[in-house]
Amino acid sequence: MIGYVTIGTNDMPRAAAFYDALLAELGAKRMMEFANGIAWSNGQGAALSVVTPFDKQAATAGNGTMVALAVGSKAQVDAMHAKALSLGAGDEGAPGARGETFYGGYFRDLDGNKLNFFFMG
């Protein structure tokens, strides 16, 4: 049902480098570049885009807003969380079980947006 998710940045070159490196680990590539943003996809459904806000105001991370990115295993959650941190992301919750079937690792990107990688199983 979700087609794409958009998050904001105040530094497009920095955000582009971060997401190019991070999302490449999932086989994602830039699928679209436009005047104020970039979108990435791995060709398996929803895309993630990063934009400078249309209204020209500062991008801010929404409190309570989070983007969850599905991966194929607990080991991949661990690896992707570690990759995000190695690229300068902040740790928002180490990878681990949260409930019987959910395993996730949480981080904030370079602009403060909260994301996680998760595996169900």
Each residue's pLDDT tens digit, 5-24: 999 999 999 999 999 999 99
Strands (E), the chain: 4-8, 29-34, 37-41, 47-51, 67-70, 90-97, 102-108, 114-120
- Is CATH 3.10.180.10 what the domain over 4-120 is classified as, yes or no? yes
pLDDT given for residue 64 in this prediction: 84
pTM of the model: 0.91
Q: What is the pLDDT of residues 56-75, one digit of tens each?
A: 999 998 888 999 999 999 99
Check residue 51 and give its pLDDT.
Answer: 96
Mean predicted confidence (pLDDT) in 41-70: 93
